[in-house]
Amino acid sequence: MYYGYGFDITYIFVIIGMVITLLASWRMKATFAKYERVRSESNLTGREVAERILRANGIYDVGVRPVSGRLTDHYDPRDKTVSLSEVIYNSTSVAAIAVAAHECGHAIQDNVGYVPLNLRSAFVPIASWGSRLSWPMIFIGILLGYGNMSNILIQLGIGLFLLAVIFQIITLPVEFDASRRALIELQSNNILPSNEDKSERKVLFAAAMTYVAAAASGVLQLLRLLLLFNGRGRRD
C-alpha cells in the first residue's frame, strides 16, 4: 500500500473524507449564517414554532427548552425534550424556524414509533463504545507487530469501527425523514409563508448534507482500514 518514498496511498481516502466533511460543514455554516439574518414573516420564535408543531400532533409530553452553544439543537427521546440552542430558541429567523421544525420532526418520529429512529437510539451506546475503542485497539495491535494477538486486536478494532459507521448510515434516513416531516408541518400549520419555502429547504438540505458527509467519511476510512489490513491474518 505504499508508493514512491513510503507514502501510504490509502491516505487518499482520508483526504477525500476530510474534504467532503469540511465542504459540508462550510456550506451548513454559511447557509445558516445567511438565513439567521432573514426574519420570517410568521414572526414566530423557534420555541413557538416547536410548541405549535408538537401540539398540532397531539404531543403534550415533550418539552421545549433552551440549551447553550451554537447549533447544539437536538431531540432526546430519553427525556422527551426538544432542546434548542440560544440562537434558535428566541429567534424569529428563517433558519430558526427550519431547525426548530426539524427537531420536532424527530419528536413526531418518536411519537409514531418510527423504526429507524428506534434503531438509531438502540445503536447509540454500541456506536459510542465502537468509536472510543476502535482506534486504541488497532494502534495496540500495530505496536504488537505480527502475530495472532496483534491480528485479533486489529480485526476487533475494525469491527468496532464498522459499528460506528453503521450508526452513521442509520442516521441518514432518520435525518432526511425529520426534514421531510418538518416541511409538511410548517406548511400544514400555516407557519411557512409560500415565499419562504425555498429558503427553509436550503437550510434543511445543508444540515442534512453534514450527516451524508460524515457517513461518507466513515465509509472511506473503513475502506482504508480494510485495504491496509486485508489478509494480515493469512500472512501471520
CA angle, 123 then 68 then 186, to 5°? 70
Look at residues 55, 79, 120, 104 and name the one whose alpha carbon lies nearest to residue 204: 104
Active-site annotation holder among 103, 175, 185, 200? 103
Q: Which residues pair with 63 in a beta bridge?
A: 81
Q: How far is CA 207 from CA 74, 163, 228, in A?
A: 12, 23, 32
103 is an active site residue: yes
- Beta-carbon contacts of 70 under 8 Å, excluding residues fewer than 6 positions away, are 85, 86, 87
Return d(Cα 17, Cα 214) in angstroms, integer. Answer: 8
Helix or strand run (H / E) with residue 63 = strand 63-67
CA angle, 67 then 72 then 78, to 5°? 75
Return d(Cα 65, Cα 161) in angstroms, integer. Answer: 34
Tell me which residues are annotated as active site: 103
